[in-house]
């Protein structure tokens, strides 16, 4: 077999969770003396060794401040930092790396846009959201409304958890200030038709921000094809560390918007009688950035790209289908968010068991899930629930871990139901 054929065979070999798990040392740890079954990936994913190695390499080989240095370590750090920006550009297929601003995560990315849009909003402006948004894609817009007098409009969610697209269409009127929607619902896993949404927005001449926190590590992305104006995401939900993320913004926006924070890095010249700003993306990156985080985010993207995001997503889909089937067999269990397509997130309630009690019982079995309102209180209100239990999967989870989830639910039912 030639080297190329061998490499191709390797690339096309089916992936298995078992082999991928070896890349994630934290998955081999124990909780309450049981093997960890980590099913809280929508809150934050675990890191592969490759990401930790990139962090260590950065610290040892190149840590220094970026952009301003006149020495070799700073040059090395700058090259690695800007290399990470190029990886983020490629990840989203943005036209230029200058359209990628590093932030602390999706929350900061959305706040950046909300803060910088003040000058375009007034008491006649309206912003369209959906009923399934994370608080990060609600509160910054409420604050914008308080500052400018603008108003929020909210598109409803159907009983299946799908966005009511007909109602949404009716709310997309020319003159709308902005549409801000989540790509994937963190509380239900439902994937929104962002292509249709962007098409509607373009026809009406309305800018669109997409909250991609739950999508960026699971769904192949192409912001040029999508035609969105802004795309926000967090590194820690895609196998990189916390405290790093990015905002994609189409170039004309970054030229037009005023800066977010002021300080070093974002300026060209500072005098007491006035300051000129740096060019994007630096205009929006005041202060010393999270250099290590950005480099590690680049390493996480390399890891995912190396395995092929579509192949990893196929593993997650298999887990979703298997877990949905098994959970639906549990008496008294109801899944919130049954629409398709879905990412590998399952929210559910069980008659007679509070989600927090369930979470505690499962934790003692070594199974980590999330319980509560998932920072989506308006969505919980829509379903008349204080909260749900949520199991969220990554490609490194196994069918056996799903079985342990179901068995732990059985234990909780014996105790409470």
CA proximity to 211, closest of 155, 135, 304: 135
Alpha helix (H) residue ranges in 98-153: 106-116, 139-148
Pull the structure tokens for residue 236: 């820690």
Q: What's 202-267 look like in SS3? A: HHHCCCEEEECCCCCCCCCCCHHHHCCCEEEEEHHHCCCCCCCEEEEECHHHHHHCCCCCCCCCCE
Segment contacting ligand PMP by CB under 6 A, of 209-217, 270-278, 284-292, 326-334: 209-217
Residue list 161-200, contact with ligand PMP (CB under 6 A): 182, 186
| 357 to 376: interface string for ligand PMP, x by CB under 6 A | ------------------x-
Selected from 77, 112, 180, 213, the binder of ligand PMP by CB under 6 A is 213
228 is catalytic: no
Asked if 45 interacts with ligand PMP (CB under 6 A), we say: no
Write the DSSP assignment of 52-71 as a string of letters.
HHHHHHIIIII-S-SSS--S
Binding mask 226-265 for ligand PMP (x = CB under 6 A): --------x-x-----------------------------
Q: Which two tokens stand for residue 185?
A: 């619902």
Pick 67 or 370: Cβ nearer ligand PMP: 370
- Contact present, 20 and 396 (Cβ < 8 Å): yes
Query: Which residue of the set 145, 198, 228, 375 is catalytic?
Result: 375
Q: Packing angle between helix 309-328 and helix 291-307, nearest 10 degrees?
A: 80
Q: What are phi and psi of 157, to 5 degrees?
A: -110, 135
Q: State yes or no: residue 388 binds ligand PMP (CB under 6 A).
A: no
Between residues 185 and 398, which has the closer beta carbon with respect to ligand PMP? 185
Binding test (CB under 6 A) with ligand PMP, winner from 27, 38, 92, 105: 105
210 binds ligand PMP (CB under 6 A): no
Instruction: Kindly give the pairing relationship between strand 151-155 and strand 126-130.
Output: parallel
Shortest distance, position 244 Cβ to ligand PMP, whole Å = 10
> Hey, which residues are catalytic here?
375
The residue ranges that bind ligand PMP (CB under 6 A) are 105-107, 134, 136-137, 182, 186, 211, 213-214, 234, 236, 375
């Amino acid at each position: 077999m030639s080297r190329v054929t061998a490499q191709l065979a390797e690339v096309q070999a089916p992936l298995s969770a078992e082999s991928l798990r070896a890349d994630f040392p934290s998955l081999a740890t124990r909780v309450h003396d049981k093997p960890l079954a980590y099913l809280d990936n929508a809150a934050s994913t675990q890191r592969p060794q490759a990401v930790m190695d990139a962090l260590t390499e950065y610290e040892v080989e190149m840590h220094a401040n970026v952009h301003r240095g006149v020495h070799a370590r700073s040059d090395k750090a700058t090259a690695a930092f800007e290399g990470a920006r190029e990886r983020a550009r490629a990840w989203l297929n943005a036209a230029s790396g200058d359209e990628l601003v590093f932030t602390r995560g999706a929350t900061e990315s959305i706040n950046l846009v909300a803060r910088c849009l003040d000058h375009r909003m007034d008491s006649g402006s309206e912003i369209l959201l959906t009923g399934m948004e994370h608080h990060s894609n609600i509160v910054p817009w409420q604050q914008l409304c308080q500052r400018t007098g603008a108003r929020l409009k909210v598109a409803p969610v159907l009983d299946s958890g799908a966005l009511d697209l007909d109602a949404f269409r009716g709310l997309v009127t020319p003159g709308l200030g902005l549409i801000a929607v989540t790509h994937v619902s963190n509380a239900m896993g439902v994937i929104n038709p962002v292509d249709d949404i962007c098409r509607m927005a373009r026809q009406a001449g309305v800018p669109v921000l997409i909250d991609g926190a739950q999508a960026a590590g699971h769904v192949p992305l192409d912001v040029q094809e999508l035609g969105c104006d802004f795309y926000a995401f967090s590194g820690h939900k895609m196998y990189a560390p916390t405290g790093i993320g990015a905002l994609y913004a189409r170039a004309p926006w970054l030229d037009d918007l005023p800066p977010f924070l002021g300080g070093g890095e974002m300026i060209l010249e500072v005098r007491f009688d006035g300051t000129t700003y740096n060019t994007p993306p630096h205009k929006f990156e005041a202060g010393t950035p999270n250099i290590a985080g950005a480099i590690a985010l680049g390493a996480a993207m390399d890891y995912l790209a190396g395995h092929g995001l579509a192949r990893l997503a196929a593993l997650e889909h298999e887990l979703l289908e298997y877990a949905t089937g098994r959970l639906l067999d549990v008496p008294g269990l109801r899944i919130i968010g049954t629409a398709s397509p879905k990412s590998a997130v399952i929210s559910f309630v069980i008659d007679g068991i509070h989600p927090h009690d369930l979470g505690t019982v499962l934790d003692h079995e070594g199974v980590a899930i999330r319980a509560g309102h998932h920072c989506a209180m308006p969505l919980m209100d829509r379903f008349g629930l204080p909260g749900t239990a949520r199991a969220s999967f990554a490609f490194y989870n196994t069918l056996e871990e799903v079985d342990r989830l179901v068995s732990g639910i059985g234990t909780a039912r014996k105790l409470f139901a």
